[in-house]
A and B are shown apart, each in its own frame.
Chain A
C-alpha cells in the first residue's frame, strides 16, 4: 500500500510538473516578462533536477520547509504541500478549509444511497420476477443514465426556484454541530445528497439484486431453510451477510472517491469543498492546489481499498476461514 501511495504521488507529480508547457509561466500570471518567468522558475525550484523537486515536495509532508527563491524564501509550515499560485496561501490550509464541506456532502449522500440502494436491491431480489422487481430494475436503468449536471440543475430549478421548498445552498454551514443546528445542515445539503444518491443508488440496486439472487440460489441457503430456520433469519443472517460483500467493495471505493470531492455536485450547488476548489484551481492553472487535491483523492481511494479488505473478514464468515 505504501508503495502504491508513493507511486501515485510520484506519477501525479510527474504529470503535473512535466505536463504543462511551463508551470513558471502559469505561476507568474497575467503581467509576465521573461525575467519574471525566470525568477518564478527559480522560486519554484524548477531549475533543480526533477527528482530533487519530487523529494523536496515529499519532504514537506513530514516537516516544515522553506520554499521560494534563495534570498526570498518563506516558511511553508507542516504539512507543506506547496503554496497557491493565486493567493500564495499554504495549500494544506486550503484543503483543510474545504474538507468539512466535502465531508458534509459525502456523509449524507452515503447514508441516503446505501439505504435506498441496498434496500430496494434486496426487495427486488426477494420478489424476483414480480412487478415490483421489474419496476425497481427499470428505475435503476433510468437512474444510472441521469448525468449529475442535469439532475442537479433540475432539482435546483424545481425545489428551490419553483416550489421554494428549500434554500439555495450557502457556504456558512459545513457541519451539523454549527450554530444553525442540524436542521439547517440537512436543508442545506439535502438536494446535493439527492443528486448524488440518485446516480449511486441505481448502481447499488443492480449490484445488490444480482448478488442476492445468486446467493439465495446457493446450497448453504437451502441447507439453512431445510433446517427449518425462520425465513427472516435465513434472509438476513445467512443470505445478506454472504451476498453483501460486493456491495461493501463498491461502498469502500465510492467513499474513497467521494472524499476526494464530488466535483460536479459541489460545482452545481456551489459547495466550496475539495471538488469545487479543484475545478477553480484547474481552470485558473493553480497547479499546487490541483496536484495536492488529486494526490489526496488518490490517497483516499487506496486507503478505502485496504479498509474494504479488512471489512470482508468481519462480514463474510467464509473469508475468515481462508
Chain B
C-alpha cells in the first residue's frame, strides 16, 4: 500500500514540489547554526550603533543599507536591536518546527492509542474514552491553550523542563500535544470498529494472542495510513498554533526567536508600519511553510485514500 502511495505522490507535480519545499525548510532549520556562521552572524548579537540604526527621525529604524538584504546581513537587520534577521529566521525555524513536530508526535501517539483502544475494546472503555473525546472537541482550543500556557509555565518553572529557553518550548509541546489528539482518536476509533471484526484479528485471537498484542501488532499497524494522513495535516496546524501563541505573547519570548515571536516583534511598537520588511520575512516564511505542509498533507491523503482513485 505504501509503495503505491509513494508512486502516486511521485506522479503529482504539486506533491513533489511541496515535498521538496518541506525538505528544504527542514534543512534550513537544521542547518541554522552553519548557515548563520557562514553569513558571519548570530541571532542574539545586537548592534545599535548609529551606522546601522537610525538615530534621528525614527530612532531604531534600520538605515536603508541595513533594512534590506545585503552581503553582510542576508535578510537585513531587526529594527530596535539591530540583530541579524537571517540568523533569527533560521534559529526561529528550529524552534517553530521542533514545537510543531513534537506536539504532533504527542497528539498522534495519544490519539492512536486511545482511539484504537476505544474501538477495539468497546463497551465501557469506549464509552469513557468517547466522552472524553467529546469534551476535548467541545472546548474552544485557542482560548484554553492560551489561558493554560502561562499556568503550565509557572508549574514547570522548578522542574528540569523549566530551564531558560527550554520552558516555553516544553510547555507549548505539552499543551498543543495534549489538546490535539481528540479528532484523530475519533477517526482511528471509527476505523478500528470495522477492523476488529475482520478475519485476521479473529485468527490472531484464536492462536492465543493477547488483547494487547492484537491491538499493537494487528490493529494499530493497519490504521497507520489514516494516522499518517492526519499527522501531516496536524503539523501545519501546530506551526500556525505556535505562531499564534507566540504572537499573542504567551509562547516563545525574546531573546529566543521563533516565527511567531518574530511576528510579535514586528507588531510590538508598530515596527511593521515603518519597516514592512520586518513583517514580510517571518510572514512569508510562515505562509510558505504552512502551505507546503498542507499541500503535502493533501497529496498524502489522496495517495492513501482508496476513495481518491475513483475520481
Contacts and interface: CB of A to CB of B under 8 A. Distances in A.
Interface of A: 4, 7-8, 11-12, 15-16, 19-21, 141-142, 144-150, 153-154, 156-157, 161, 257, 260-261, 263-264, 267-268, 275, 278-279, 281-283, 285, 290-291, 293-294, 297-298, 300-302, 305
Contact of A144 (B135, B139, B150, B294): B294
B146 A278 contact: yes
A25 B210 CA distance: 50
Given A19-B151, A294-B140, A283 B244 contact: no
Nearest to A25: B154
Interface in B229-270: 236, 240, 243-244, 247-250, 260, 263, 266-267
7 contacts: A20-B151, A141-B294, A260-B140, A264-B244, A282-B147, A283-B248, A297-B140
A4 B138 contact: yes
Nearest to B157: A21
B100 interface: no
Given A144-B294, A150-B263, A157-B273, A21 B142 contact: no
Contacts of A291: 147
B22 interface: no
Interface of B: 131, 134-135, 138-140, 142-144, 146-152, 154-155, 236, 240, 243-244, 247-250, 260, 263, 266-267, 272-273, 276, 279, 283, 286-287, 290-291, 294-295, 298
Given A16-B147, A149-B260, 8 more contacts: A20-B151, A144-B294, A149-B267, A157-B279, A264-B142, A283-B249, A293-B143, A297-B143
Contacts of A257: 140
A19 B140 contact: no
A305 B131 CA distance: 15
B298 A141 contact: yes
B289 to A, nearest CB: 9
Contacts of A297: 140, 143
B279 A263 contact: no
Given A19-B151, A153-B279, A283-B250, A301 B294 contact: no
Nearest to B158: A21
Contacts of A283: 150, 248-250
Contacts, number: 126
A145 B295 CA distance: 9
B28 to A, nearest CB: 18
Contact of A19 (B155, B244, B260): B155
Nearest to A158: B276
A298 B276 contact: no
A145 B148 contact: no
Closest 5 CB pairs of A and B: A145-B291, A290-B147, A297-B140, A150-B283, A145-B290
A268 B286 CA distance: 17
A142 B298 CA distance: 12
Contact of B266 (A142, A153, A278, A302): A153
A254 to B, nearest CB: 11
A282 B244 contact: no
Contacts of A282: 146-147, 149-150, 250
Given A154-B279, A157-B279, A298 B147 contact: no
B152 A154 contact: no
Contacts of A264: 142, 244, 247-248
Contacts of A141: 291, 294-295, 298
A148 B142 CA distance: 13
B291 A142 contact: yes
B146 A19 contact: no
Contacts of B149: 282
B154 A21 contact: yes
A188 B82 CA distance: 35
B139 to A, nearest CB: 6
Contact of A145 (B146, B155, B287): B287
A285 B279 contact: no
Contact of B147 (A142, A144, A150, A294): A294
B148 A8 contact: no
Contact of B143 (A21, A267, A278): A278
B140 A268 contact: no
B142 A263 contact: yes
B151 A150 contact: no
Contacts of B267: 149, 153, 268
A298 B150 CA distance: 20
B248 A267 contact: yes
